[in-house]
Amino acid sequence: MKRIAQGLVCVVAMMATACASAADPGGVTRIIVPFTAGGGVDSLARVLSRSLQQQLGSPVIVENKPGAGGNIATSYVAAAAPDGKTLLLTTNGLVINPIVYSNTDYNARTSLAPIGMLAESPVVFVTPSNSPFHTLSDVIKLARSGAGRFSYASCGAGNIHHFAGELLKSMANIDIVHVPYKGCSQAANDVISRQTDLGVISLTSIAPYLGNRLRALAVTSAKRSELLPAVPTVAEASGMDGYALTGWYAMLAPRNTPKQVVDSLSRMLNAALKDREVRANLASSHMQPIGNTPVELAKFIDEDDGRMREIARKSGIRLD
């Protein structure tokens, strides 16, 4: 009996340790960000860290590990101890990078433990405000007519904007030259100056210009964005059912992080998304709060991975 009792004590102790490890007051939780300090993802990580720190009762810090399109940070977290103390705040690059780079050393579906979706941000098809294109259908019709050579600007090669442009080309059966820029701001500037006919750019970078220097033709998401309710989806604007891509932000932990820890962090993350400071930060960055469960995020990543692989296969997107 004594041995059984001792064994039960050990089991209970181990379970308690697993459940409490994410909230261990003696440890520091790190949120790893794949981008430099000062950007939208970094800002979101820092405001989230304050909410999580309050809930955990222990320090939460943000570490920036930029480079290789996000691969450095992702690989770092994937190799970290599965104790709930090292978290990754990332974007679509999690899914896209293993598709466009052959030397990526992680698998988006299996190398990390999903915690929860944080937010979405619309990707928008835009033209200069003085462009003859007033709808996305105008662009498609003229491109199909062969009346001229058209181009579209994206925020860079091998990202969500590039994939959104190539999906339009594939589904509409049109040929538009892709012009990748080093960032969304540069792409927006050249669309405004009519260096390219069309832009596929994040709302965050074009919001100040909409209605005066840029015209929004469509958002790439499956549903209209609450941030741009008057702008139709690509499916609505073109009649192409099934077109759907969106920019997203999520948090994950290393694979094999105990389920109790993941579930605890997920609950805290969803609570943080209701925090006034967090929601104000999202609104200022033109992000729409989402929130979901680890199971739902895993399903989403699985589906997004399949969707992106099919786009890359049809369009031949590779970066090495």
For residue range 73-85, list pLDDT tens digits in order.
Answer: 999 999 999 999 9
Q: What is the mean pLDDT of residues 101-116?
A: 95
The pLDDT > 90 percentage for the chain reads: 86
Which residue in 57, 74, 62 sits closest to 30, CA to CA?
Answer: 62
187/201 Cα distance (integer angstroms): 7
Termini Cα distance of the chain: 64
Q: Is residue 43's pLDDT more than 60? A: yes
Using a 10 angstrom Cβ sphere, with 0-12 exposed, 13-18 middle and 19 or more buried, the burial of residue 297 is buried
Which range, of 6-15, 113-122, 225-234, 305-314, averages the lowest pLDDT?
Answer: 6-15
Q: What is the mean pLDDT of residues 93-112?
A: 95
What pLDDT is stored for residue 320 in this prediction? 85
The pLDDT > 70 percentage for the chain reads: 92
> For residue range 172-216, what is the model confidence (pLDDT) as tens digits?
999 999 999 999 999 999 999 999 999 999 999 999 999 999 999
Mean pLDDT (the chain, rounded):
91
Structure confidence at residue 56 as a pLDDT band (50, 70, 90) = very high
Q: What is the mean pLDDT of residues 213-242?
A: 95
Q: What is the mean pLDDT of residues 28-53?
A: 96
Strands 29-33 and 247-254: unpaired
What pLDDT is stored for residue 2 in this prediction? 45
Structure confidence at residue 26 as a pLDDT band (50, 70, 90) = low
Which range, of 22-26, 94-98, 123-127, averages the lowest pLDDT?
Answer: 22-26
Other beta carbons less than 10 A from residue 54's beta carbon: 13
What pLDDT is stored for residue 302 in this prediction? 97
**φ, ψ for residue 85, nearest 5 deg:** -100, -10
Q: What is the mean pLDDT of residues 243-271?
A: 97
Q: Is residue 1's pLDDT more than 90? A: no
Looking at the DSSP bridge assignments, the partners of residue 63 are 32
Angle at 218 between CA 276 and CA 182, to 5 degrees: 80
Strands 151-154 and 177-180: parallel
